[in-house]
Amino acid sequence: METALALIVGLPISRGGLGIPRPVHNYRLDPGRRWRGVAEKGHYRCDLYWPDRCVAVEYDGELSHTGAERIAADARRRAALQAMGVTVVSVTRDQLYHPASFQCLARVLRRVLRVRSRVRCSDYQERQGRLRARVLGYERDMSDIARLIRFG
């Protein structure tokens, strides 16, 4: 899902993407001496990272990010990254698959990355829908019931 998100974010607007500069995948952040007190680990890996902006995107999948222990560990991780000066944006499946939620996510990403929206084509929403359908693996003409069964 991180790769799908990177494609949707990094592809040009003419292809239905957000036109945001491409992130680095699995970027390694070392806390250094200054942040050893807040970091539980010797280093952190961010799903998507923009080093020039100190912005990380973490995809919170349903299977690997559930349960009290895992939620608490994720919260500690985010707190450590934020203490190190990293802006952390969490992304869920719902934000990727539901158009209205995705639009909110796009606004958040543009704001934290300080990137203006440069959409100039009238059929951008259609292009973005096609891109998301292709990258996320669903068809736009699929019935609501079939989509619910397939994706929950």
pLDDT digits (tens, 9 = 90+) for 16-30: 999 999 999 999 988
Structure tokens belonging to residue 41: 């680990």
CA 92 to chain centre: 8
Instruction: Evaluate if residue 32 carries a pLDDT over 80.
Output: no
State pTM to two decimals: 0.79
Range of the domain at 55: 2-151
Name residue 53's amino acid: R
CB 104: neighbour CB atoms within 10 A?
12
Structure tokens belonging to residue 62: 């349903």
Report residue 6's pLDDT band, with 50, 70 and 90 as the boundaries. very high
Quick one: average pLDDT of 80-84? 88
Instruction: Evaluate if residue 146 carries a pLDDT over 50.
Output: no
> According to the model, what pLDDT value does residue 1 have?
85
Alpha carbon dihedral 42, 65, 150, 7, in 10-degree steps, equals -30
The total number of structural domains that make up the chain:
1
